[in-house]
Amino acid sequence: MNLFEEAGARGGARDETWPDAPLAHRMRPRTLDEFVGQRHFLGEGKLLRRMLLADRITSVIFYGPPGTGKTTLAHVIAHTTRADFEQINAADSSVKELREKIGLARERRERGGRTVIFVDELHRFNRAQQDALLPDVESGTFIFVAATTFNPFFAINSPLISRSQIFEFKPLTQDDIRAVLLRAAADKERGLGAWRITIDDAAVAFLAEKSDGDARRALTALEVGVLSCGAPPGGEVVYNLAMAEESIQRKALVYDRDEDEHYDTISAFIKSIRGSDPDAALYWLAKMLEGGEEPRFIARRLVILASEDVGNASPNGLVLATSAMQACEMVGMPEARIILAQATTYLACCPKSNASYMGLEKAAEHVRSGRTLPVPDHLKSTGYKGAQRLGRGTGYKYAHDFDGHWVDQDYMPTSAVFYEPTDQGQERAIKERLDEWRRRRRGGESKTPSAE
């Protein structure tokens, strides 16, 4: 009895053997040689392949987007490792079921056996359920294998992460998708080999692009096209581009406001504006809006960017970004997207400077690392009785009483320079003015009050 048959005896289901099971289930790889993709850790000589071939698998977490082989690889492990295999789906499991599986693992360990416990959708376990795994993962009662679409550093307990190897799954390449499709079309045992299928290269390329590296999505489109064309088994099927376009639904946007795509896409959006590429910025903006991102979130980030990255090189950027945020609140979607597009393109095309932000960072570091500087007496508050008796404000020079509304005066007890304007946009004029003031201050020129 092999491992899947043993699972069936315990009540598990071998859905890949059902003749009417979806093609993607039937074509699940059963060995490492059949597995496609993830060469960065499963290629010849790579870490996970070495671990599996040596039957030295340790606790691992598989992390990546849907359809990239996480669950499939767990089943491959069931075929290749010399251990019993228990599977739990965290979406509909409980602590009680988890403890039962762990109990079975303890019994096998006492008999000298080993157990792999595979937890699918690990991120759906709450903290208490994740904590229930820790003692036995720590003691090696079982080999822990888990799959998640969430970044484990956000969704999984740190102690569990520290006890596991993390393998990040990447979307399959177009070559990977092509190999999966051609294998399924030719496989007579599990695939669509009962038909004589010819697949156009254009159709394969289309499916590979529209599936976004998701093998399950590509195989489903292939199966839908073949089964709906009307040809009986043994008949000839030409799977061309037109059939592929009909078979695959509108591309499912890979975007989730609680997962990596949220953080990665807003990062790309901000960096594109910072890099003065309005076309890229509009693409990432469109992706966020199409994915259902909250417009307020995007608008707030534009306001921050207007100060952090545009700054005094184009001060109107902050005015426009703030107005855009307020306008989005008043107008709402779908028209708010137009306002966001205007703010995005304006900021992307502005001259850029982060000098004010970097100046603040330098000043903060000076405060953190150096001695806290006292406020000079002549700058201290005089708005209370007795201030003059304490010498507060004595010697202060009111700048508006002097020519050019500027006077040579110490405003902090250090000569440190924090704000260094660039020569970008309007900040060039600021730089010229500030350079002149600093030159005069260093020169110690005597100034006299204006006649006014």
Contacts of 372 (CB under 8 A, 6+ apart): none
Together in a domain, 149 and 60: yes
119 falls within a domain: yes
> 391-417: per-residue pLDDT in tens?
888 889 888 988 889 888 888 888 889
Type of residue at 421: P
Residue 451 has pLDDT above 50, yes or no: no
* Mean pLDDT (whole number) for 428-443: 88
Q: Rounded CA gap, 432 and 428, in Å?
A: 6
More confident residue, 239 or 249: 239
Encode pLDDT of 130-175 as tens digits: 888 888 888 888 889 999 988 898 889 898 998 899 999 998 888 9
162 & 100 share domain: yes
Q: Is the predicted pLDDT of residue 250 greater than 70, yes or no?
A: no
Contacts of 156 (CB under 8 A, 6+ apart): 61, 122, 123, 130, 148, 150
Residue 286's pLDDT band, with cuts at 50, 70 and 90, is very high
Question: What pLDDT sits at residue 222?
Answer: 92
Query: What's the chain's average pLDDT?
Result: 85
Could you give the number of structural domains in the chain?
A: 4
Does residue 20 form part of some domain?
no
In angstroms, the CA 382 to CA 394 distance is 9
DSSP string, 284-337: HHHHHHHTT--HHHHHHHHHHHIIIIIGGGSTHHHHHHHHHHHHHHHH-TTTHH
- Inter-residue contact 425 to 350 (CB < 8 Å): yes
The pLDDT value given to residue 12: 36
**By C-alpha distance, which of 346, 356, 323 is closest to 276?**
346
Comparing C-alpha atoms, which of 317, 318, 309 is closest to residue 274? 309
Question: Do 178 and 273 fall into the same domain?
Answer: no
**pLDDT score at 351:** 95
pLDDT recorded at residue 3: 36
- pLDDT of res. 393: 86
User: What value does the mean pLDDT take over residues 66-91?
Assistant: 84
d(CA 166, CA 147): 10
Percentage of the chain beyond pLDDT 70 is 91
What pTM did the predictor assign? 0.63
Residue 54, classified by CB atoms within 10 Å of its CB into exposed (0-12), middle (13-18) or buried (19+), is exposed
In a shared domain, residues 108 and 205: no
**pLDDT for residue 253 is more than 70:** no
Q: Is residue 387 part of a domain?
A: yes
Angle between helices 278-290 and 260-274 (to 10 degrees): 160
List the domain range (segments joined by +) for residue 426.
372-443
The pLDDT of 204-229, averaged and rounded, is: 87
The CATH number given to whatever domain includes residue 287 is 1.20.272.10
- In the prediction, which pLDDT does 304 show? 96
User: Residue 361: exposed, middle, or buried by beta-carbon count in 10 A (0-12, 13-18, 19+)?
Assistant: exposed
